[in-house]
A and B are shown apart, each in its own frame.
Chain A
Amino acid sequence: MSQLNLHLKVWRQNAGQPGHFQDIEAPEIPDHASFLEMMDIVNDRLISNGQEPVAFDHDCREGICGMCSMQINGVPHGPEKATTTCQLHMRKFRTGDTIWVEPFRAKAFPVIKDLVVNRGAFDRIQQAGGFISVRTGAPQDANALPIGKVVADAAMDAAACIGCGACVAACKNASAMLFVSAKAGQLNVLPQGQPEKDRRTLGMVRQMDKEGFGNCTNQYECEAACPKEISVRWITKLNRDYAVAAVKEALGNSPKVAGGGD
């Protein structure tokens, strides 16, 4: 095991105040440590020097909870493909490197402190239709509704999204299309999701717009940054589902569909 001497440029900010980059020297970092463990070491040293540690979000540290964020050297979750920040290890860096560490930046993700941002917008988008309305106890037997393996696998591909927000952070427009399309898409491909498909699509897209995310300009940076490698084909599907739902809403029979503007 070898050790790294690193220069960090870390974003420091208190809610509602302007932020700035702080230069922090991080000598003698074990290369086996994860990126977050490196931050732990840095924080421990800051604390013993009487300084405030860097606040950052993290929880499971095994790449599934989606809590960790951080823009590392200009890329969400750092340079490794299909990796969350907590799964990124310091052996991927070289001694002497300068590492930029910033929060995921988007108007819809206001900074709470340092690298901690508020991703509540994602929850609100889900509340605008990211569900199947079924009461506990109501359903039929699970095997009464056969679902082909191809469809089930596709739904699972979309469902792998961990809601971390890397797609928003990577997009030059801070667009949430990859997230929204994966969430809507999982349910829109399944037979259980059909009855509410249009309502869901319109509701979630309108809420997405309301939250102040940008829109998709088809550059696919989101897909490249996604730690779960969600495909931009879900965005294709959302575009299609939205067009159909909107046309049906405009020209079809009343009553009008519900959702964001109900």
Chain B
Amino acid sequence: MSLNSSIPSGPMAMKWSKHKQDSKLINPKNKRKFTVLVVGSGLAGSSAAATLSELGYKVKCFCFQDSPRRAHSIAAQGGINAAKNYQNDGDSVHRLFYDTVKGGDFRARESNVHRLAEVSVNIIDQCVAQGVPFAREYGGMLANRSFGGAQVSRTFYARGQTGQQLLLGAYSALNKEIAAGGVQMYPRTEMLDVVTVDGHAKGIITRNLVTGKIESHAGDAVLLCTGGYGNVFYLSTNAMGCNVTATWRAHKKGAYFANPCYTQIHPTCIPVSGDYQSKLTLMSESLRNDGRIWVPKKAADIGKTPAQIPESDRDYFLERKYPSFGNLAPRDISSRTAKEVCDEGRGVGPGGRGVFLDFAEAIGQFGQKTIAERYGNLFAMYEKITGEDGYKQPMRIYPAVHYTMGGLWVDYNLMSNLPGLHVLGEANFSDHGANRLGASALMQGLADGYFVIPTTIANYLVHQKPGSVTTEHPEFKKALENCTAQTKRFLDIKGKRSVDSFHRELGLLVWDKCGMARDRAGLTEALKRIPELREEFHNNVLVPGSGNACNPELEKAGRVADFMEFAELLCLDALNREESCGGHFRNEHQYPDGEAKRDDENFSYSAAWGYSGDFAKPELNKEPLTFEEVHLAVRSYK
């Protein structure tokens, strides 16, 4: 099947304006007849549900959490980018666009990125009007900061909880529409399947997580706003409930999954302390501004306390390898290098998976008071989790999975190749290419929900007869039976191992073979072991309780089953992409200095995988990437 990305013609800067002009309109009277199903209530889902309801569509919104306000967008700390140029430092829509394309290592679709940069300014206006308490200057104007190495200050922030504040803004808009009767909200409800009728997405199957009831919902279009798949690694900075189920089940119904191998690793997380560990916590990267990163030179010294290791026996490996950037080397490089020294047996802390982040020199130079002013909350967070005082002894850090750039393939209208199925936010693949810049995730979620889908969805709906499919359709019955049967199957296995034990094993395997650095041998081995593990899972998992009540183990079983299948596609995509770019690093493809070696000649495309029924042999569709505005260049940090 050929991929039609529906990119409007014309000059880059005019595409979105032109597309808005050319987009179809639906008569206000008719809008009320259309039902849109929105799955997920994070930034993308809440903003889309609220805005579509404002326009007059009937909306049903679903989330697995107990309240839409708890979606994992809430955990974003840093900020949100917008090309407002309030600082008069030379920012513009074009510069934000350029930075994002380059930051994505030239693996994103230019037209989508440009649109993202354009609407970024509207997002800030919208959020301020909703009462989002962004940081301000004394004069009452909005404050900005520079983030993630950007050369302009374009990041808006609300203390360390920008994600929560933006989500609460979108949630308040959603509440307004729920109160007005335009949105019907289904909390504690998980999507189990997409229902397709004549090749169009016309509904979903859900499970009520309180009563266990499996239900059908019909609609004229389906929006998946279900986030990323970082929890395939088990340990990540994602929330425990984050899962691939919605996008994966849609994939199995025909939607293409694009670039799953683009996963982002964050270098400054608190390391794993034991095998009971359930999640990893991120600390702001800003710590690297003053902290020095090191490990012992000799593996024999890892058991010593840092104080026992003299200066001459310490290896400040980032400063040694990247003298000009030192401890501020980019995320992926810092992460990979930390992994390397740990692989050499020089890692510190439990399990040997950690490197020191040492503030002794900075404290000596500026005093503890200054360091506390800069990073006090982070030192407190570190102390809470590890019980160690970062002022007295070096912190320990290790990289962790943070964000996933891949996702379901969508066209310029954010519609997948499955007509009617639209995908927003982290769940789609479109805007970040192979690597996401800091403070861009929040921007994309809200851009898709507030400003893109409300315009583009009409291009699909205008050709549909509203309410033409109901849950009486045989496809709904079939899907419902399948989901019921699968739920029952999990309960009937009655094996010996808990769901978590499988998830943990899968995560370790995928992290080891398809984590920060990948190679052919490791990926091949993972592709052999994942099906074995999946097989064992389906024969030996133990899910207690019943399907007719609140049963968290059953919920997890369904999600892990999907991760077991998805993991294979992730490794396959990583194996297929014989280059290194952004968050995807293949050991075979690097410059002698360890820099990622992109192969624009052969891999300047998005890999959109189609489900073939056989996990080992998905169908590869390529969307070629062309760059009209931003010229291909090598990313260099020497």
Would A and B touch once assembled, by the CB under 8 A criterion? Answer: yes
Q: State the A residues within 8 Å of B (CB).
A: 1, 14-15, 30, 32-34, 36-37, 40-41, 43-44, 47-48, 50-53, 55, 57-62, 64-67, 83, 87, 89, 91, 112-113, 116, 118-120, 122-123, 126-128, 130-143, 145-149, 152-153, 155-156, 159-160, 162-163, 186-187, 190, 192-193
On whether A53 and B552 interact (CB within 8 A), knowing A1-B350, A131-B176, A156-B133, the answer reads: yes
Contact, CB under 8 Å: A51 / B544: yes
On whether A61 and B131 interact (CB within 8 A), knowing A33-B276, A52-B544, A149-B137, the answer reads: no
Additional A-B contacts beyond A64-B163, A89-B385 (12; CB < 8 A): A15-B549, A30-B274, A55-B550, A62-B75, A66-B69, A122-B67, A133-B176, A136-B51, A146-B141, A147-B136, A152-B140, A156-B133
On whether A142 and B165 interact (CB within 8 A), knowing A1-B350, A64-B75, A156-B158, the answer reads: no
Hey, which chain A residues are within 8 Å of B84, CB to CB? 142-143
Contact, CB under 8 Å: B273 / A60: no
Nearest residue (CB) in A for B164 is A64
The total of interchain contacts (Cβ-Cβ below 8 angstroms) comes to 222
Contact, CB under 8 Å: B136 / A65: no
Contact, CB under 8 Å: A62 / B54: no
Nearest residue (CB) in B for A161 is B168
Contact, CB under 8 Å: B69 / A163: yes
Hey, which chain B residues are within 8 Å of A155, CB to CB? 131, 133
Hey, which chain B residues are within 8 Å of A148, CB to CB? 136, 138, 140
A-B contact pairs, 8 of them (CB 8 A): A34-B385, A61-B240, A87-B384, A118-B66, A140-B125, A143-B141, A153-B136, A156-B165
**B4 interface hit (Cβ, 8 Å):** no
Interface magnitude class on chain B: 35 or more
On whether A47 and B544 interact (CB within 8 A), knowing A89-B387, A136-B50, the answer reads: yes
On whether A126 and B498 interact (CB within 8 A), knowing A119-B67, A120-B66, A142-B142, the answer reads: no
Nearest residue (CB) in B for A51 is B544
Which of A15, A37, A57, A64 has the most CB atoms of chain B within a 10 A radius of its CB?
Answer: A64
On whether A60 and B74 interact (CB within 8 A), knowing A1-B350, A52-B544, the answer reads: yes
**B520 interface hit (Cβ, 8 Å):** no
The answer for the CA separation of A193 and B132 in the assembled complex, in Å, is 11
Nearest residue (CB) in A for B449 is A136
**B151 interface hit (Cβ, 8 Å):** no
Contact, CB under 8 Å: A139 / B137: no
Nearest residue (CB) in A for B84 is A142
Contact, CB under 8 Å: B125 / A61: no
Contact, CB under 8 Å: A162 / B138: no
Hey, which chain B residues are within 8 Å of A15, CB to CB? 210, 549-550
Contact, CB under 8 Å: B164 / A135: no
Shortest distance in angstroms between A94's beta carbon and chain B's nearest beta carbon? 14
Q: State the B residues within 8 Å of A (CB).
A: 47, 50-51, 54, 65-70, 72, 74-75, 84, 86, 122, 124-131, 133-142, 158-159, 161, 163-165, 168, 171-173, 175-176, 178-179, 185, 187, 210, 237, 239-241, 273-274, 276-279, 281-282, 350, 384-387, 450-451, 454, 496, 498, 500-501, 542, 544-545, 549-553
Question: CB within 8 A of A127: which of B54, B122, B142, B178?
Answer: B178
The answer for the CA separation of A137 and B129 in the assembled complex, in Å, is 10
Nearest residue (CB) in A for B134 is A152
Hey, which chain A residues are within 8 Å of B164, CB to CB? 64, 159-160, 162
Contact, CB under 8 Å: B142 / A143: yes
Contact, CB under 8 Å: A132 / B172: yes
Contact, CB under 8 Å: A131 / B66: no
The answer for the CA separation of A127 and B61 in the assembled complex, in Å, is 15
Shortest distance in angstroms between A163's beta carbon and chain B's nearest beta carbon? 6
Contact, CB under 8 Å: A192 / B131: yes
On whether A159 and B158 interact (CB within 8 A), knowing A119-B66, A126-B175, A141-B125, the answer reads: yes
Hey, which chain A residues are within 8 Å of B273, CB to CB? 1, 30, 32-33
Contact, CB under 8 Å: A37 / B175: no
